[in-house]
Amino acid sequence: MTFVVPLPTLVPGWLRSVLSGRSAAVRGAGGDGPPAINELYHARRLSLVRLAVLMVDDLPTAEDIVQDVFAALYRRHGADLRTVADPHAYLTTGVMNAARSALRRRRTARAYVPPQPGLAPAAEDEMLLGHGDREVLAALAELTVRQRQVVVLRYWSELSEQEIADVLRVSRGTVKSTASRALSLLRGLLGEKR
């Protein structure tokens, strides 16, 4: 003897209870009151972890998020959830918000690029430099990048103003004015140190 149950009548009720996260164990005794937090935890934890995994794509982080949301619910309302209108909505909202926060923290952590350590000159280079050379290099470091480029190309590489303009892709007048400002700054910096 076989027992045949019409499938369409069972599936919608079961599907509704699974999708809403409610089951007979969650409704409490008799279905008249709100569930206790331990019943709610056993009934909803797995579906909430799945939801969090879909959000953060990381199982350990998802489990931590769900644990934190349940801990916050317990701290705020205790074991008896009579003061919570809809504990299922509370938990779902908490998991979604915590997952968004985890994603923001992850994005911030990935965007951070630590500063590169400065280059230190070799010890023998420092020893070979005279005192005046160190002063000039320190004064050059105080100039802007463009000023330093113009001064080095003009006085170290001995390029003409037109050649510097071609290399830097600026006008010849820009090279002249930049060199003039850079030299006056260098005179001031080197004059103050002497």
Confidence grade of residue 95 (pLDDT, cut at 50, 70, 90): very high
Contact (CB, 8 A) for 101 and 62: no
Residue 15: how many CA atoms within 13 Å on its side-chain side? 6
Whole-number Å distance between alpha carbons of 21 and 30:
17
Whole-number Å distance between alpha carbons of 18 and 13:
9
Q: What is the mean pLDDT of residues 45-74?
A: 94
Helical spans, DSSP H, in the chain = 7-20, 37-56, 59-77, 87-111, 123-128, 131-141, 145-151, 161-168, 172-193
Sign of the Cα pseudo-torsion (174, 176, 181, 186, in order): positive
Q: What is the mean pLDDT of residues 182-187?
A: 90
Whole-number Å distance between alpha carbons of 105 and 66:
17
Whole-number Å distance between alpha carbons of 93 and 87:
10
pLDDT in tens, 142-155: 899 999 999 999 98
pLDDT in tens, 5-26: 444 444 444 334 434 444 444 4
